[in-house]
Amino acid sequence: ETGRLLFAGPVTFVKGVVAMSGLPPADRLEVCFAGRSNVGKSSLINALTGRKTLARASNTPGRTQEINYFALGEERYLVDLPGYGFAEAPVAIVAKWQALLKQYLSGRATLRRAFVLIDARHGVKAVDEEILTLLDRSAVTFQVVLTKVDKINRSERAAVIEQVKGALVKHPAAYPEIVVTSSEKGEGIETLRALIATLE
Ligand code: GDP
């Protein structure tokens, strides 16, 4: 019911933010989405919001990386963090981005949860560990969302869930429940929606 309410209002793009001073007023709860580039973040956000063209898959290396704010009705912000893990991204841009990310994660009082997207075919990798550690240090509760689960079979699914659970043990900020999703098939989307809607 709350999920329906959440998306009853229009889902709109608010703004792209490149500095803390650009953040919209902290007048509602928000969740953020993080994940290595190509993990399926844009597809998931589009599935979640029921919009086709909302999240742009445009995290080109070297491009100015923005924190994109979307309003889910008037109740929540959905915050799309730039994809990480570009081997070829210029050092200066990576450093600038990391500084903003740290400031955002530690300084945003209305941030309730980070959803960290992990490709179901790959599990948690070293590059993901970096953000998980940053979330621990920032005391931001995070929840792992497995993406593209339609690409793996049942036994692979069980195996990756075990791998992720094993990786989460050493992260105090981890929320233990893993959300399994497929933007392609719609699996897990309603669960994720309800999670966002019911955060307090
Ligand atoms: P982003 O870089 O994290 O925003 O990733 P995208 O959403 O652009 O997705 C990267 C690629 O994975 C695209 O080719 C998508 O079509 C594909 N993809 C994303 N989600 C799914 C999914 O649930 N299932 C399948 N089979 N492919 C997906």
> What total of structural domains would you count in the chain?
1
Q: What local confidence, expressed as pLDDT, does residue 2 receive?
A: 46
Cβ(184) – ligand 1 distance below 6 Å: yes
- pLDDT score recorded for residue 133: 96
ipTM for this model = 0.99
Choose one of 43, 119, 148, 149 to mutate for the ligand 1 pocket test, by most ligand atoms within 8 angstroms of C-beta.
Answer: 43
What is the whole-number distance in angstroms between the Cα of residue 39 and the centre of ligand 1?
Answer: 6
* Domain that residue 25 falls in: 2-198
pLDDT tens for residues 132-171?
A: 999 999 999 999 999 999 999 999 999 999 999 999 999 9
Which segments in the chain show pLDDT lower than 50?
1-3, 57-59, 61-62
| Among the listed residues 54, 117, 43, 53, the one whose alpha carbon sits nearest the alpha carbon of residue 84 | 117
Q: What's the pTM value of the predicted model, to 2 decimals?
A: 0.93
Q: For the domain that residue 165 is a member of, what is the CATH number? A: 3.40.50.300
CA dist list (Å): 48 to 4, 79, 154: 12, 13, 24
Tokens, residue 90: 């210029």
pLDDT at residue number 90: 80
Q: Which atom of ligand 1 is nearest to the CA of 117?
A: 3
